[in-house]
Amino acid sequence: MSAFSDRTVTGALAGIRIVDFSRVLAGPFATMMLGDLGAQVIKVERPGTGDDTRAWGPPYDAAGRSTYFDAVNRNKRSVTLDLTSEAGCQQALALALAADVLVENFRPGLLERFGLAYDQLRALNPGLIYCSITGFGRDERAVSLPGYDLLVQAVGGLMSVTGEPSGEPQKVGVALVDVLAGQFAALGILAALNHRHATGEGQLVEVDLLSSLLAALVNQAASYTAAGVLPERMGNDHPSIAPYSVFQTGSGRLVLAVGTERQFERLCELLGEPQLAADERFGTNSDRVANREALRQELERLLAARTASEWAALLTVARVPAGEVNDIAAAFRLASDLGLEPIVELPLSGGKPLRLPRNPIRLSRTPASYRDAPPGLAVVAQTPEPSRRGDQSPTRV
């Protein structure tokens, strides 16, 4: 049996084969999500070095591999191909012809040199869904721009609304734009698979980091596009809701996310000053937004009576949205306490299990599965089996 033949796998995407030419984060995140849902994912890597993130450490797991690579590469099998060689190109072509989905994030135009561009493959594999992830699209003015998450956070406006008003622009504490682009890519692939199920036709799915970020700016973007209002950095404050921020207590910081008038009334009652809700400065949400600094002073004066932990417990019972600012360890403990089972374990050869965050999608009939730890780098290239679709008839998904 070939190394690429499907094992018995159940899942919403069982029987779907994905050839993943992508590297680093956005593409690998998308294909891992689809792999969790049952798709067979073949990860194509450079001989010798593989995906760049294999070397992005510390930290490392118990097997000595980068945890960055681990984070987005479970449920995949690795194959190494040298695309600068004729043999490597032929093997890559064979993989593409046997695939339902191809994902790539090469610089626009590069795969055309190897005979692996969408226009070159669609005649040979009409049912192929070809997902291309770029930094800034395919316009000739965009090709020279490097698609790094930090750069896109900067030029895409996210850093302009992140950080304290008096401080410098800040990036988000994770490569959020890559993650968003990966989610949009996975969504586009699923839509294309559904279309192919109905028609037998594959198609090109294009996602770029800049458009992904602009779409994800949601209310901040709409304030500009629909009202001409340019958002600015506000620290932890919200431009349209108050109190919706981080507040100092007697010990520790507390998040309040008060979104309704009744919640604000209950907050004032629990703080011991119900009359605060009737203060003309704070009578409506618009009033509170206009007088947010005065409101902060009043709330922090009252919050000083207890610790953040005590307030969080009291307010939560009263259905006032509040919570402490957790570190990541505490966040996982909270999810565990709530029965969300946030961590899955995958076997590592000769070592303790590899613990990774669970796929957040819960399906009652076809749940996600966790079959394989992130793969070691393949030493030699391997040849795929022939296409399972033959006449390119629609694949049921």
Can you read off the two tokens belonging to residue 28? Answer: 């690998």
Q: How confident is the model at residue 262, as a pLDDT?
A: 97
Cα angle 336-24-182, degrees, rounded to a multiple of 5: 65
pTM: 0.90
- Over its length of 397 residues, how does the chain's per-residue pLDDT go in tens digits? 234 444 678 899 999 999 999 999 999 999 999 999 999 999 999 999 999 999 999 999 988 889 999 999 999 999 999 999 999 999 999 999 999 999 999 998 899 999 999 999 999 999 999 999 999 999 888 888 888 999 999 999 999 999 999 999 999 999 999 999 999 999 999 999 999 999 999 999 999 999 999 999 999 999 999 999 999 999 999 999 999 999 999 999 999 999 999 999 999 999 999 999 999 999 999 999 999 999 999 999 999 999 999 999 999 999 999 999 999 999 999 999 999 999 999 998 767 899 999 999 999 999 999 999 999 998 755 555 544 443 333 332 2
Q: Give the list of residues 6+ apart from residue 203 with CB closer than 8 angstroms, or none.
A: 129, 130, 192, 195, 196
Q: How confident is the model at residue 62, as a pLDDT?
A: 87
Q: Give the list of residues 6+ apart from residue 390 with CB closer than 8 angstroms, or none.
A: none
Can you read off the two tokens belonging to residue 301? Answer: 């004066």
Architecture of the domain defined by 244-337: 2-Layer Sandwich (3.30)
Q: How confident is the model at residue 143, as a pLDDT?
A: 84
Cβ–Cβ < 8 Å for 236, 245? yes
In whole angstroms, what is the distance from residue 44 CA to residue 77 CA?
9
Which residue out of 20, 51, 149, 178 is catalytically annotated?
178
- Between the CA of residue 35 and those of 15, 301, 308, 340, what are the distances in Å? 11, 51, 41, 21
- Of 85, 99, 56, the closest CA to residue 193 belongs to 99
Secondary structure percentages of the chain, helix, strand, coil, to 5 = 35, 15, 50
Can you read off the two tokens belonging to residue 156? Answer: 């895409």
Can you read off the two tokens belonging to residue 334? Answer: 């909270």
In whole angstroms, what is the distance from residue 373 CA to residue 96 CA?
24
Cβ–Cβ < 8 Å for 97, 19? no
Helices (H), the chain: 26-36, 67-71, 86-97, 118-121, 149-155, 176-199, 209-216, 218-225, 261-270, 285-290, 292-303, 308-317, 328-337
Q: What is the CATH number of domain 17-217+342-357?
A: 3.40.50.10540
391 tagged catalytic: no
> Do the two domains 17-217+342-357 and 244-337 of this chain adopt the same fold?
no
Question: By three-state DSSP, how is residue 354 classified?
Answer: strand
Can you read off the two tokens belonging to residue 315? Answer: 């307010």
Q: Where are the domains of the chain?
A: 17-217+342-357, 244-337
- Of 284, 314, 71, the closest CA to residue 182 belongs to 71
Token match 């890519």: residue?
185
